């Protein structure tokens, strides 16, 4: 069982609300009180970090109670609580964080922010795995290449996107990320992709959409975007600085 034992009001308030939002069974005690016999892990503040030597202790940051609750849930689940991060790649990847079989967090962010989110979620987890779908070839290749210091698996994402009923629009990428997280893949540290003519044209079209003057970048810059060397905005800046847009 999770026990919250802290005199820090901000830590107490944040952790308890997070646990209640998750529907988690827990109890609270004063830091000087004896812990219940069924205690599995204690969540406390920095002022009592060294007071609970007999059981695993998690020191919560008052500004990030979710992190402490994620760690507490992983401790309760034991060996079944490994952190796996599933990613459905695309212009706005869906990202799902699983502890064991439980979904503890989900995100959908622009591609340029995805690596930061993934690395943040993996940072404090023991032996995390990141599983990335093999669709959206260029975007998945960029994610595989940019992720560091974490095990990355490339997953066949065929059939991972669920049917969405009425009222579920916008959830497809995150649900697909959950399904991807639950599939074993091939361990990779890089993914080299030679962009097709169609993929290059898509990048040009996107640059035209983002250009102030409705004009596209050239093929050389488009290939650099495809390789992950530049974002479309950076390519547009280089193109403007190099001369008139075509």
The predicted-structure confidence for 44-92, as pLDDT tens digits, reads as follows 999 999 999 888 999 999 999 998 998 888 788 765 668 899 999 998 9
Residues constituting the chain: 246
Give me the pLDDT at residue 244, please. 45
Burial state string for 119-142 with b = 16 or more CB within 10 A and e = fewer than 16: bebbeebeebbbbbbbbbbbbbbb
- State percent of the chain over pLDDT 90: 52
Reported as a pLDDT band with limits 50, 70 and 90, residue 138 is confident
Helix, strand, coil percentages (3-state) for the chain, rounded to 5, are 40, 20, 40
pLDDT of 79 reads: 53
What domains sit in the chain, N to C, each tagged with a CATH number?
Answer: 2-79 (3.40.50.2300), 82-188 (3.30.420.140), 197-242 (no CATH)
Percent of the chain with pLDDT over 70: 96
**How much is the pTM?**
0.68
Closest CA to 229 of 146, 106, 117: 146
């Amino acid at each position: 069982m999770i026990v919250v034992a802290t005199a820090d009001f901000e830590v107490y308030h944040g952790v308890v609300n997070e646990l209640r939002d998750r529907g988690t069974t827990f109890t609270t005690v004063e830091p000087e009180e004896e812990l219940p016999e069924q205690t599995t892990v204690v969540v406390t503040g920095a002022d009592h970090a060294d007071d609970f030597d007999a059981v695993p202790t998690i020191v919560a940051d008052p500004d990030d109670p979710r992190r402490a609750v994620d760690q507490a849930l992983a401790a309760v689940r034991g060996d079944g609580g490994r952190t796996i991060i599933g990613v459905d790649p695309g212009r706005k990847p869906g990202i799902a964080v699983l502890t064991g079989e439980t979904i503890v967090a989900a995100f959908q962010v622009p591609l340029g922010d995805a690596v930061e989110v993934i690395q943040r979620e993996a940072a404090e987890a023991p032996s995390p795995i990141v599983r990335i779908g093999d669709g959206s070839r260029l975007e998945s290749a960029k994610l595989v290449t940019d992720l560091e210091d974490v095990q990355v698996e490339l997953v066949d994402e065929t059939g991972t996107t669920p049917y969405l009923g009425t009222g579920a629009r916008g959830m497809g990428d995150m649900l697909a990320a959950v399904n991807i997280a639950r599939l074993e893949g091939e361990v990779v540290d890089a993914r080299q992709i030679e962009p097709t003519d169609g993929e290059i044209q898509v990048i040009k079209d996107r640059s035209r959409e983002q250009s102030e003057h409705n004009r596209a970048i050239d093929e050389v810059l488009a290939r650099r975007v495809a390789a992950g060397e530049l974002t479309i905005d950076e390519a547009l800046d280089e193109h403007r600085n190099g001369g008139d847009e075509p």
